Structure 1
Amino acid sequence: MLDVRRMQVLRAVVTSGSVTAAAAHLGYTPSAVSQQVAALEKEAGIALLERVGRGVRPTAAGRLLAQRTAVISESLAEAETALADLRAGRTGRLSVRYFTSVGPTLVASALARLRREHPDVRIDLRLIDPEDPLAEVERGEADLAIVVRPRHGGQEGVRLVHLLDDAYLAALPAGHPLAAQRVVDLADLAGEPWIGSEPPGPCLDVMLESCAAAGFAPDFVASSEDYATALGFVAAGLGVGLVPRLGAAGRRTGVALRRVRRPEPIRTIHAAVREGTLSQPALRGLLDALEEAARDSAPAVSSSASARR
């Protein structure tokens, strides 16, 4: 295999017309230049320079290699520029995974800020599988995923960055007797027909574990993995349910949303990233933007916490 550095020395000799001039340009001794060219000729298996008087000129093979070296040098320069842009976060691509209810609240705001700060970074944005939220990050198929922290914590090599605690609210038909209360004990919903609003996964686990702590298992009479549909069922009087604050944004009429206590179901939302990627400027910028968006939404989420105190 030909040595690129030696090829660049040859090109300097061909361009300058002599070993001495090439040595002065490169900061080498003439002897060192001659040794590099000789080594390259050995690698190529053919003469690259021929003497003409006190100077040298390239053979056909020498001209060919000098021309190819110019192309290689240009490609290397472009690669170095592209790499510098990537290191600085000016270019690149981020794969982001999220779940539905954080889309309009956290993700939209964070991506808008990222676009302002890193306009040439492309975003691959997709919904995640709620049952296995960390898998794509762990496998390196996604750079960041917004997840509800799994019961057993994160995977090795994956960091979970806390964004916010999202409390569940009781969703009641507007005429329900409990709708007159500001805060509802979870146990008071034990004998009610329930509308499911979560698919299998950590969010549903939070709901079921809270109900179990209150001494009952909910009797689901209808189910939807979409909050708007679930709230529609509640508004129609089919049952009651629990909906997280982020999922209750833009709720429909006919539904009373009330804080819950004893216990208060809370899903803890995190951004999951691989440990080794946090130094990437664009990814760090996205994480900062998500944390800012989470802080902006905190007053609405934390109001339930103040009700417990």
Structure 2
Amino acid sequence: MLDTRRMQILRSVVTSGSVTAAARNLGYTPSAVSQQMAALEREAGVPLLERTGRGVRPTDAGRLLAECAAAVGRHVAEAETALADLRAGRTGRISVRYFATAGARLVAPALARLRHEHPGVHTELRLAEDPLPDVKAGRADLGLVVRRHDAPPVDGVRFVHLLDDRYRAVLPRGHRLAGRRVLDLADLADEPWVGSELPGPCLDAVLDACGAAGFTPDFVVDSGDYATARGFAAAGVGVTLVPELGLPAYDTAPEAAEVVVRQVTNPEPVRAIWAAVRATAPPSPLLTAYLAALRETAERGARPR
């Protein structure tokens, strides 16, 4: 097998025209360069240099290896540049798993900021009902999840809190409570309810808050979808709770004129949204930058207007 370091010395000898000049350029002694050339000729099995007066010139084999050494040098330089870009976060790839209501209000703005700061980044974004298996297996760099603040740890996963997404009451505009700006959750105890959540941590947040207020909601409709739940409320079927991320950012939804949105207290239902990352993942400038973008988006831009 040919020694690539010796091939680079050969390239210097060929371009310099002599062993002495190459040694001077490389900072070696002439005898050290000669020894390396002799070793490379043994590896190649053919002469690589022939003497011409005080200098040398390459044989066909020597010229071939010198050209290959130049190509190797270019590839190494390209690799070093690409690696430096990757270390600095100028290029790279990040894979994200998210749930639907986090997409438009969290994932998209944070991605726009990441691409502005790191234009060479490649992203893979997928909706996922449960992103933790992909995060733990390394198939995703980050997943957005809803979990309680006091939830037990998950082996192999680190959680970064992004925001507490507060639920709001959505009532028909003509409802008896529509004129109040703030409602006690117990005020809704005797109302027919439209379910906006599928079974899981989001529904648990609603049921836990209602339980703390002393009642269990009477669900007359299970919509499992925020837009559908708002539509049922607009039609007067019942009241519903929708998290702020599930409300339109502007009053442009078809049912907007038919409903009112009110703050709820005593207690205020909240679902906590977290970013999940692999605990053993090596440091990544892109992941760090995207986490920072998510946190800033959550703090400044996730609330509806």
Q: TM-score range by the shorter chain?
A: 0.7 to 0.9
Task: Please list every run of 5 or more consecutive structure 1 residues that lacks an aligned counterpart in the other structure.
Answer: 302-309
User: Residue 298 of structure 1: CA displacement?
Assistant: 7.4
What is the identity percentage for the equivalent residue pairs of Structure 1 and Structure 2?
64
User: Residue 53 of structure 1: CA displacement?
Assistant: 4.5
- 2:8 equivalent to 1:8: yes
The separation in 2 between residues aligned to 1:193 and 1:161, in whole angstroms, is: 36
Aligned length: 299
The separation in 2 between residues aligned to 1:219 and 1:28, in whole angstroms, is: 87
Q: Deviations over 1:97-142 (max 9, x none)?
A: 322223332333323322322223233233222xx23232222222
User: Residue 279 of structure 1: CA displacement?
Assistant: 4.3
Amino acid at match of 1:113: R
- 2:98 equivalent to 1:136: no
User: 2:161, 2:272 within 8 Å by CA — same for their partners in 1?
Assistant: yes
The separation in 1 between residues aligned to 2:223 and 2:5, in whole angstroms, is: 64
The separation in 1 between residues aligned to 2:47 and 2:217, in whole angstroms, is: 86
What does 1:189-268 correspond to in 2, within 5 Å?
A: 189-249=188-248, 250=250, 252-268=256-272
Amino acid at match of 2:204: D
User: 1:23, 1:30 within 8 Å by CA — same for their partners in 2?
Assistant: yes
Residue 114 (structure 1) aligns with: 114
The separation in 1 between residues aligned to 2:82 and 2:257, in whole angstroms, is: 53
The separation in 2 between residues aligned to 1:43 and 1:221, in whole angstroms, is: 84
User: Residue 293 of structure 1: CA displacement?
Assistant: 1.8
What does 1:1-309 correspond to in 2, within 5 Å?
A: 1-129=1-129, 132-149=130-147, 152-153=151-152, 155-249=154-248, 250=250, 252-275=256-279, 279-297=283-301
User: Residue 276 of structure 1: CA displacement?
Assistant: 5.9
Task: Please list every run of 5 or more consecutive structure 2 residues that lacks an aligned counterpart in the other structure.
Answer: none
The separation in 2 between residues aligned to 1:217 and 1:45, in whole angstroms, is: 87
The separation in 2 between residues aligned to 1:59 and 1:246, in whole angstroms, is: 73
The normalised TM-score by structure 2 is: 0.84
User: Residue 49 of structure 1: CA displacement?
Assistant: 3.1
| SS of structure 1 residue aligned to 2:84 | helix
The separation in 2 between residues aligned to 1:64 and 1:154, in whole angstroms, is: 60
User: Residue 54 of structure 1: CA displacement?
Assistant: 4.3
The separation in 1 between residues aligned to 2:16 and 2:137, in whole angstroms, is: 51
User: Residue 86 of structure 1: CA displacement?
Assistant: 1.9
The separation in 2 between residues aligned to 1:239 and 1:70, in whole angstroms, is: 76
Amino acid at match of 1:115: R
The separation in 2 between residues aligned to 1:173 and 1:2, in whole angstroms, is: 81
User: 1:196, 1:241 within 8 Å by CA — same for their partners in 2?
Assistant: yes
User: 1:171, 1:257 within 8 Å by CA — same for their partners in 2?
Assistant: yes
The separation in 1 between residues aligned to 2:85 and 2:147, in whole angstroms, is: 34
User: Residue 244 of structure 1: CA displacement?
Assistant: 0.4
User: Residue 25 of structure 1: CA displacement?
Assistant: 1.4
Q: Deviations over 1:202-255 (max 9, x none)?
A: 222222333333344434333334311210111112222211012113452222
Is 187-196 or 244-253 further displaced after alignment?
Answer: 187-196
The separation in 2 between residues aligned to 1:294 and 1:157, in whole angstroms, is: 25
The separation in 2 between residues aligned to 1:187 and 1:47, in whole angstroms, is: 94
User: 1:148, 1:270 within 8 Å by CA — same for their partners in 2?
Assistant: yes
Say if 1:134 and 1:273 are closer, same or farther in 2 by CA, change over 3 A.
Answer: same
Say if 1:32 and 1:206 are closer, same or farther in 2 by CA, change over 3 A.
Answer: farther
The separation in 2 between residues aligned to 1:14 and 1:126, in whole angstroms, is: 54
| SS of structure 1 residue aligned to 2:221 | strand
The separation in 2 between residues aligned to 1:31 and 1:155, in whole angstroms, is: 63
Is 226-235 or 119-128 further displaced after alignment?
Answer: 119-128
The separation in 1 between residues aligned to 2:282 and 2:195, in whole angstroms, is: 37
Say if 1:41 and 1:290 are closer, same or farther in 2 by CA, change over 3 A.
Answer: same
Say if 1:43 and 1:137 are closer, same or farther in 2 by CA, change over 3 A.
Answer: farther
User: Residue 11 of structure 1: CA displacement?
Assistant: 1.4
Say if 1:14 and 1:154 are closer, same or farther in 2 by CA, change over 3 A.
Answer: farther
Say if 1:179 and 1:69 are closer, same or farther in 2 by CA, change over 3 A.
Answer: same
RMSD: 2.8
